[in-house]
Structure 1
Amino acid sequence: MAINHLHAFLESYFSAHHCELLHDTNGVLTVQLTEEMDRALMNRPFYWHYIKKMGHPGDPKQLTLITDPEKRDGKHEWIHYGSPRVHQIISHLHTNEKYTKLFEHVDTDHKTALFPWLVTNIKISYQGKQKMDEMISIGLHLVNGIMKLEMMDELQHKTIKNTIPDYCYTISPMIKLHSGFKRIEKVLENYVLDQNHEWAEASRQTMEEEINLLRHFYKGETAEQDMKKEIDEIKKRYSPYITFKVINGGIFYLKDEAK
């Protein structure tokens, strides 16, 4: 499921940045980058400096990403939660496009209501002996309170613009943003509680083993402060914890009231 979430996230990310999806099958995604996205992701500042100085338009690269580990071929980039490319994309979103307000494009000649959705993309980080990141996309209808997971998949099938269409009007939210975030936070907490937490127990076990080994090493020594400092470092390294981080989000005004 995590692989599918990542693939859908990448589809939405590149489509939203006007990159053509040249090849899109299960686990493999090839995109034609725009100049803006080439500059953001491909680390070619000297190329773009030179090409612009020469007065040429430049040639943005194509990028092939493999989200299914069984389809790794050694030629293209395998991308997964925690990989440098995912962190790069998340950093780009965090820096440039954290919050937004967008409208579904509706081709109509009569008054049409658009309903407000609070949409958030949230990174859940499981930190312990090992680290794992997971992206969750949630949408909350701010009038009737209905909530949808994988909201980016829902938006992928809609035409979204930054201006409200002709003949359309927006419905005022019944749920305040602060309350909406609290509802989403509660859903995420329940989601995390339902997960298998063997990773946390393994981290605690390793932490205790390391501390016991350290105490054995210091047995008979008088360097109490040195031992305490090293124990604190072990606890910091192995103590399991989970964090939520809002990567980006916004208010999306959509045509159909959720059912």
Structure 2
Amino acid sequence: MADDAALYAFARRFFEARRSVIREAGDAHLVVELSREADEALRYRPFYWSYVTSLGLSPTPLVRTYRFPGLRPTATPPALSMHEEVLTFGAPRLRRMLEAAVAFGRLSRAFEVPEEENRPPEAGSEAVPGGAHSPRGVLVPWLLLSFTVAYTAALRWERLVTYGVRLTDLALDEAFHARLAGRRLGPNPPPDRPILTPLFRFSAAVEKATAHLRARLQAEDRSWADAWIREGEAEKAKIARYYDALLRRSGDGAAPRRRRNRREGPARGSAPEPSARDERAARNGEPPEGPSGAVPKTPGATSRGQGADDPLAFRTALSEEKKRRLAEIDWAHTPAIDVTLEQAALLYLLDDGTRPAPAGGPPADEA
């Protein structure tokens, strides 16, 4: 009976954590309107959500009834329906719920293991009220958040940023690793130690940390990004000069020559790739030349030299090729900063009397 009650509690917490709506919660059943997150995790409609997203349709939520046969209902349960399942240990749907919980679960919990309370303080020092040597020391909840900040330009480099947010007043500690130094953590709460209840939700602590990290990133030196953008602008100017020279030559009335003695010609409408000689000429403001010093031949001529190409199609192909290459340079030379939350942990630490480190400095007791 206790195991069945634990199964019921787990299922309810699972759906609430996935932002599903509990329409009805009986003693031995749950009527749940599944959120998209829960629907996808439990694989009810594997192709439905991709179909809805691609067509921009309004989704229809799925409502399911879950029965727990190991529990005895105190009231008459609702009538059986086709949209219901039985959740028991070993059921395939329960296995999927456990797999989804493991996949979504990124929060670990640990408690500080206090030192021996009977050990006297060192000579010449006084015990800190509420500290590690005091039996009155309380365990304070902290949320540890580790972010990976990735910078992308000509190269990509990453750094790890760790903050601690106290859940009793949302105080943020930038030097949280220093606060953890020398502390021993364990999975179980120590006996005879009061534990403070968090006064703020995890979402508020995450929002506080992300806002602080965003402000930090905005205040950083952006010279690396500006240099990468300038390099892209120089590359775009070089490519633009090359194609503009080709377009000027084709607009001066230079008749495109037929290709002779060639087994295959380029596809009709495709633009030629710039050669090193042409790019040097474009940088010097000179018109480009072909392999033999002539104007580049119009692509798309027939292999037997029967007829010439349309000059308008040639210019259109050059313009489209120019746009494509400029867009590629824009994409490649756009700097980016990506932030990913790597780990979160709920830590209960003994209150040692130190205050969180102020922004940009050491902890207050070390200043």
TM-score, structure 2 as length reference: 0.41
Separation (CA, whole Å) in 2 of partners of 1:139 and 1:249: 10
1:98 shift after superposition: 4.4
> What are the residue-to-residue correspondences of 1:127-206 with 2, within 5 Å?
127-206=152-231
The question of 1:120 aligning with 2:113 is answered no
| Per-residue Cα deviation, 1:229-259 (whole angstroms, up to 9, x for no partner) | 3222222221112121112121111111653
Cα shift at 1:189: 1.3
Query: Greater Rg, structure 1 or structure 2?
Result: 2
Structure 1 residue corresponding to 2:326, chosen from 211, 227, 231: 231
* C-alpha distance in structure 2 between counterparts of 1:232 and 1:258, whole Å: 54
CA distance in 1, matches of 2:338, 2:151: 7
Tell me if structure 2 keeps the 8 A contact 1:111–1:167.
no
Query: Distance between the aligned counterparts of 2:111 and 2:330, measured in 1?
Result: 47
Contact 1:129-1:202 at 8 Å conserved across structures: no
Kindly provide the CA deviation profile for residues 171-220 of structure 1, in whole angstroms up to 9, marking residues without a partner as x.
Answer: 12112111111111111112112211111110110111111112222221
Q: Secondary structure at the match of 2:170?
A: coil
* Count of aligned pairs: 165
| C-alpha deviation, 1:160, in angstroms | 0.9
Q: Distance in 1 between matches of 2:181 and 2:323?
A: 53
Q: CA contact under 8 A between 1:112 and 1:167: conserved in structure 2?
A: no
Distance 1:211 1:162, change over 3 A: same
Give the structure with the larger strand fraction: 1
TM-score, with structure 1 as normaliser: 0.57
Relative distance call for 1:112 and 1:204 in structure 2 (3 A) is: same
Deviation, structure 1 residue 111: 6.4
- The answer to whether the 8 Å contact 1:136/1:150 transfers is no
1:101 aligns with 2:109: yes
User: For residues 162 and 225 of structure 1, do their structure 2 counterparts lie closer, same or farther at Cα, with a shift above 3 Å needed?
Assistant: farther
Aligned-pair CA distance for 1:226: 2.9
Output the CA distance in 1 between the equivalents of 2:194 and 2:326.
Answer: 60
Task: Supply the distance in 1 between the matched residues of 2:107 and 2:319 (Cα, whole angstroms).
Answer: 49
| CA shift for structure 1 position 157 | 1.6
Tell me the residue number matched to 1:81: none
* Counterpart secondary structure, 1:242: strand
SS at match of 2:138: strand
- Larger helix fraction of residues: 1
Moved more, 122-131 or 132-141: 122-131
Larger mean CA deviation between 221-230 and 164-173 belongs to 221-230
Q: Please list every run of at least 4 consecutive aligned residues from structure 1 whose deviation after the TM superposition is greater than 6 angstroms.
A: none
**CA spacing shift, 1:145–1:258, aligned 2, 3 Å:** farther
Specify the SS of the correspondent of 2:164.
strand
CA distance in 1, matches of 2:137, 2:338: 40
1:49-94 Cα deviation digits (max 9, x unpaired): xxxxxxxxxxxxxxxxxxxxxxxxxxxxxxxxxxxxxxxxxxxxxx
Asked if 1:247 corresponds to 2:272, the answer is no
- Does the aligned pair in 1 maintain the 2:145–2:343 contact within 8 Å? yes
* Displacement of 1:130: 3.0
CA distance in 2 between counterparts of 1:175 and 1:225 reads 56
Identify unmatched segments of 5+ residues in structure 1.
1-94
Whole-angstrom distance in 2 between the partners of 1:190 and 1:117 = 22
Contact 1:104 1:158 in 2 (8 A): yes
Between the aligned partners of 2:162 and 2:233, the Cα distance in structure 1 is 36
**Unpaired stretches in structure 2, ≥5 consecutive residues:** 1-102, 119-134, 248-314, 356-367
Equivalent pair of 2:170/2:208 in contact (CA under 8 Å): no
